[in-house]
Amino acid sequence: MNYLFRLTLLSTLLVCNATLFAQDKQTLPEDSKYHDGVPKGEIIGPIKWESKIFPGTVRDYWLYVPEQYNKEKPACLFIAQDGLNRAKGWHIPEILDNLIHKNEVPVQIGIFISPGVVPAANSNAQARFNRSFEYDALGDRYARFLIEEIIPEVKKSYNISDDPNDRAIAGASSGAICAFTAAWERPDQFRRVLSTIGTYVGLRGGDAYPVLIRKHEPKPLRVFLSDGRNDLNLYGGEWFVANQAMLSALEFSGYEVEHRWGDGGHNSKHAVQIMPDAMRWLWKNYPEPIQAGTTENRRTDLLIPNENWEAVSSGHRFTEGPVANDMGELFFTDIPNGSIHKISADGTVSTFAENSPGVNGLMFGPDGKLYACQNGNKQIVRYTMSGEMEAVCKGVESNDLVVLHDGSGYFTDPNNKKVWRFSPDGKTSVVDTGIERPNGVIVSPDQTLLTVSDTAGRFTYSFQIQPDGKLAHKQAYGHLHLPDSTGNSGADGMTVDTEGRLYVTTRQGLQVLDQPGRVHLIIDKPQDGWLSNVVFGGKNFDTLYVTCGDKVFKRRVKATGVQPWKAPVKPPKPRL
């Protein structure tokens, strides 16, 4: 090696080392430093916690309590994953001290919480580290852990606001997707999300978020994203690309979202530089409430601004079988009570029929009578509008049914994995077997295609109705989204509109599919509970009615429903 080459190499190494040193010794933003005259908050902890939602785990958490905290006034809340080390690495205590002092963020209690660990069984064993399980997973488990365990425990000593607009949640890497998931699942509890180097990749399903954000009814969330171009690129995906996909999806769906991209890798260097600004943006214009996004940019634009679910009947045990008559008045069942109820045009709820054991699905027929699956008596019955009942099909198990314009119909028999046809005179025949749990059943507006939902699977099944009423060309056609906690969709009742769109009640919400079987929109459930069925009703048949748990809800949308027992309606050709 000659002298000149060695000198050049030495110079290059010195420059590289100086650059690396400079990166490690970046100048802190002024609001990330302690300043004389600024009241300092107190750090309390570590506090040990043993979880019931995550059995066997132990963890520590710490509290930040600003000097300005007043127990007579509910404080806002800021939760950071990965404990005090993450919070100190971001300089959160100093930032909150400074920004609260300058009235740039509200007074807030900080909870800095570590992931759980199941301690090793013995000295020769390894502990079970819960971080990925808790942080990377979708679903509401971690949100419930915070809502049911940690926050109530802290509230024993501190006055924390219950308003979701007053709560922020933050994290880095897996902690970031954890923070987003908690708010996504429970916007009734958290509405401000700070995400740095977020792991929105295929570790435990997080790569699904950009699609879900584009399809779901928008939620009232404010989201700050940051990442660097040299972040990880591993088996689960490329972090920077995934964060850009998150930004694109949030913007598409009208969310309030901000981002800061840098050139860094999977570390906190970039986050440290932008953290004071991120915190200001997270709380900007407080206490103005955070608004939900919009569906106006979507191909399927059904939702009307400020039109939300409204309860129209409550106090039941389990509601099912909604159907509307020609005037748009609603009939529905309460299965455990064996009763059928009616909601009149003026909103009055009355009992239409009692002593109807196990009554489930309802449908009107072309004869003007109300058909019902009376499974407790192993029969399908029909009622006149004066309440007189007669049996149509005897000795059959049934769950849901549809009646066509010629008086024939189909019903599902989930316990025996069968789909049946019945003729106008009540004769029955099996037309399909093998769907794991056939449940809801509906026809296309032109009455040539029959759709059956499978509660135990992720598809709806499509059949072509033959001239003799038999079914042909069975296909697992409609592709539904599944919650992370189960492998089945919980698909139940269905309805259709004049555009040929299919509305399916599922665990994930009310999923709206186009004619080719693709989910375009997922409308949130109105409450926790089983979303059992859906139908169009109201004067103009532009109001969705759903049965969910112990209540019935309605919501007006930009669509018009179809009544299967009337003349067929040809829908427009879909966009393929």
CATH number at residue 157: 3.40.50.1820
The count of structural domains within the chain is: 2
Q: Is residue 574 part of a domain?
A: no
Q: Among residues 113, 110, 107, which one has the least CA distance to residue 74?
A: 107
Question: Is residue 21 domain-resident?
Answer: no
Beta bridge partners of 406: none
- Looking at the structure, do residues 371 and 256 belong to the same domain, yes or no? no
Q: What is the pLDDT of residue 573?
A: 94
- Asked if residue 5 has pLDDT above 50, the reply is no
Residue 453, pLDDT > 80, answer yes
**Total number of residues shown for the chain:** 576
Instruction: State phi, psi for 294 to the nearest 5 degrees.
Output: -135, 160
287 within domain boundaries: no
Contact 383, 372 (CB under 8 A): yes
pLDDT in the model for residue 196: 98
Q: Do 211 and 350 belong to one domain? A: no
Q: Has residue 17 been placed in a domain?
A: no
Residue 19 has a pLDDT of: 38
Average pLDDT over residues 336-344: 98
Sheet with strand 310-313: strands edge to edge:
310-313, 551-556, 543-548, 531-537
Burial (0-12, 13-18, 19+ Cβ within 10 Å), 180: buried
Beta bridge partners of residue 331, listed in sequence order: 323, 342
Instruction: Based on the fold, state whether residues 263 and 327 are members of the same structural domain.
Output: no
- Radius of gyration of the chain, Cα coordinates, nearest whole angstrom: 29
CA separation for the pair 259, 208 (Å, rounded): 20
| Residue 19 counted as domain residue | no
pLDDT at 94 over 50: yes
As separate numbers, helices (DSSP H) first and strands (DSSP E) second, the chain gives 10, 36
**221 and 259 housed in the same domain:** yes
Per cent of the chain over pLDDT 90 is 92
- Split at pLDDT 50, 70, 90, the class of 167 is very high
- Residues 226 and 339 reside in one and the same domain: no
Query: Is 156's pLDDT higher than 70?
Result: yes
Same domain, 200 and 339: no
Alpha helices (H) along 202-256: 209-215, 239-252
b/e map 390-401, b = 16+ CB within 10 Å: eebbeebbbbbb
Asked if residue 331 and residue 251 are part of one domain, the reply reads: no
pLDDT-derived band at 293, boundaries 50, 70, 90: confident
Residue 292 within a domain: no
439 is in an annotated binding site: yes
The 10s digit of each residue's pLDDT in 103-118 is 999 999 999 999 999 9
Q: Which residues form the catalytic set?
A: 492
| Calpha distance 400→451 (Å, rounded) | 12
Q: Mean per-residue pLDDT for 333-343?
A: 98
92 pLDDT tier (thresholds 50, 70, 90): very high
**What is the mean pLDDT of the segment spanning 476-490?**
93
3-state DSSP assignment of residue 97: helix
CA-to-CA distance for 313 and 552, rounded, in angstroms?
Answer: 5
Whether 394 and 520 share a structural domain: yes
The answer to the question of residue 513 being in a domain is: yes
- Is residue 542 within 8 Å of 531, Cβ to Cβ? no
Asked if 361 and 416 sit in the same domain, the reply is yes
377 carries a ligand binding annotation: no
Nearest to 421 by CA among 356, 466, 376, 458: 466
Q: Indicate if the pLDDT at residue 9 is higher than 70.
A: no
Residue 395 DSSP one-character state: S
The pTM score is 0.92
Q: Let me know if residue 253 belongs to a domain.
A: yes
Pairing status of strand 76-81 against strand 108-113: parallel
Residue 277 belongs to domain spanning: 26-282
Q: pLDDT tens-digit profile of 204-246?
A: 999 999 999 999 999 999 999 999 999 999 999 999 999 999 9
25 — pLDDT class (breaks 50, 70, 90): low
- What confidence tens digit (pLDDT) does each residue in 356-378 have? 999 999 999 999 999 999 999 99
CATH no. for residue 352? 2.120.10.30
Residue 197: is its pLDDT beyond 50? yes
Q: Are residues 88 and 204 in the same domain?
A: yes
Tokens of 171: 């994290």
Query: Can you tell me the distance from the alpha carbon of 132 to that of 491, in angstroms, rounded to the nearest whole number?
Result: 29
The predicted pLDDT at position 7 comes to 38
Question: How far apart (Å, rounded) are the C-alpha atoms in residues 77 and 190?
Answer: 9
Q: Give the containing element (helix H, strand E) for 420.
A: strand 418-422
CA distances from 362 to 43, 170, 440, 500 (A): 60, 47, 11, 21
Instruction: Clarify whether residues 269 and 384 are in a common domain.
Output: no
Query: Residue 135: in which H helix or E strand, if any?
Result: helix 131-135
- Is the pLDDT reported for residue 485 higher than 90? no
Residues 80 and 129 in one domain: yes
Helix (H) or strand (E) holding 142: helix 141-145
